[in-house]
Amino acid sequence: MAGERHRRHCGGGDVDRRRDPAVGVKTLVRKPPADERRLDVLGRMPRLRRVVMSRSFQPVSMLLLLAPFALAIVAGLLGTSAGNRNFGIVFVWIVWWAVLMVLMVPGFGRIWCTICPIPAPGEWIQRRGIIGGGGKLRTLGLRWPRRLRNMWIQNVGFLILALFSMIILTRPTVSAGVILGLAGVAVSMSLLFENRVFCKYVCPIGGFIGLYSMAAPIELRVRDTQVCVDHRSKDCITGNERGYGCPWMVYPGKLDRNLDCGFCTECLKTCTMDNVVINLRRPGADLAKPGGGKQIDEAYKALIMLACSIIYPAVLFGPWATVRGWASVESLWGWAIYATAFLSATLLFVPGVFWLTVFAAQRRSATGVTIRQAYREYAHSLIPLGLAAWMAFSVGFALTNGSYALAAVSDPLGWGWNLFGTSETGWTPYLSGTAPAIQAAILVGGLLFSIRTTLRVGFRHDPSGTTATRAAVPVVAFLLASTLALLWLYLG
């Protein structure tokens, strides 16, 4: 009983052990390093635990979000072509995007994947129901090819969306088509493959959410890995009457990064050993882990996202109207120039400069780490800065254009309705004078977080620390140059 209480309070960690009555008021147990401290959220919040453990938690959340997304599709197809008056554009690319990038991902990691309605219809078809638990999945049962079990499809998908982003962001029909297309692919893949193959290997949004969720201060893990090893039935994989086997095809006993977990909470329900917990932790605890970034695709994801976070504000908010015209496919030649420059920057230039950076770092250190391994691991240091860059971008866009939401919610199709009396609300930019300062603060915070990650990687490569700081200098210079470029775009 005392052990159970201890687990609830401590989430399996040693953070409060000194105060635990089961152990004693004062013991000789040392406080663990900050990176290893955990706080069991659901243990501390029993009401929230009841909600999360309920079988209806995820389906109801998805259903609640399915309604506005369905309206966004209808508005996109049938509503006004004026993007800033159309619910589809305003809801998805201003409201949803800002909430996702400014609140959800940095604060709650993969919480969006918990409630995302896009794969919901496919999942319900697989399960032959919306709420019921633990049955057999109905699919053709195809196996996802081994060589595609990585992030490359997500990388390519994101780049395609990014290349056409000016059109997607401004044309309601195109925007609706993209959402419908993603939902269609998700449903099709649910019919062919078991579980969330679409979310794990294909969804271009899930790819970067997973990457950036590693910087979040929340995680789903097991309390004690030995309990999982000793537990023969492995209900978290096979499922039981309380829930399904992990839809993300992860064995929770070996889960050590947010990237691999879709936060669907099925394992919380199926675990008969009460061994799965949701922890609060130090932000970025997944970054700089040994073996992190097992494949080069993950490093490329971080590089692509950082490159796009610099290109986007330059193209969308910069004074270069010609480039904006190219990006919005006003002429095929213009778009070809833009696409060539965009792909060269994201796939060649930025990764190439980063390779030179890591090469320089390796030359300055005396470790046995290969350049390939160093490249993959130092790429994790780009994650906090990349996330900060997207936050800065999204904050600026939302503050400037957020007021369109008031009119769009009252008149979602732009047909002259006035459901909530706000359809005549004019455009009002919020905090227009202070937004750059907010963006600068976010970027500098991201830089510091990234430098900390770089140093952790360096000191792990060289535990003696004699050359770690010297090795970190080129990577820090890369991060600083990226930050200064972003500061110039927003403030210069």
Q: Which residues bind another protein (CB under 8 A)?
A: 81-85, 166, 170-171, 316-321, 324-325, 328, 400-401, 427, 429, 432-433, 435-437, 440, 443-444, 447-448, 451-452, 455, 459, 465-466, 468-470, 472-473, 476, 479-480, 483-484, 487-488, 490-492
CB of 166 to another protein, least distance (A): 7
**Residue 290: Cβ within 10 Å count:** 9
Give how far Cα 487 sits from Cα of 439, 444, 447, 468, Å.
Answer: 8, 9, 11, 28
CB of 327 to another protein, least distance (A): 9
- What kind and span of H or E run contains 271? none
Of residues 417 and 430, the one with the C-beta less far from another protein: 430
Of residues 160 and 484, the one with the C-beta less far from another protein: 484
- Measured over the CA atoms of residue 287, residue 292, residue 296 and residue 298, the dihedral's sign is negative
CB of 373 to another protein, least distance (A): 21
Task: Render 297-323 in DSSP notation, one character per residue.
Answer: HHHHHHHHHHHHHHHHHHHHHSS-HHH
Is 480:383 a contact under the CB 8 Å cutoff?
Answer: no
CB of 317 to another protein, least distance (A): 6
CB of 465 to another protein, least distance (A): 3
Query: b/e map of 125-139 (b: 16 or more CB within 10 Å)?
Result: ebbeebeebbeebeb
CB of 53 to another protein, least distance (A): 42
- Alpha-carbon 374 to chain mean position: 23
CB of 492 to another protein, least distance (A): 5
Of residues 137 and 447, the one with the C-beta less far from another protein: 447
Of residues 51 and 440, the one with the C-beta less far from another protein: 440
Of residues 119 and 172, the one with the C-beta less far from another protein: 172
Of residues 202 and 479, the one with the C-beta less far from another protein: 479
Of residues 59 and 83, the one with the C-beta less far from another protein: 83
Task: Render 316-383 in DSSP notation, one character per residue.
Answer: HHSS-HHHHHHHTTSSHHHHHHHHHHHHIIIIIIHHHHHHHHHHHHHHT------HHHHHHHHGGGHH
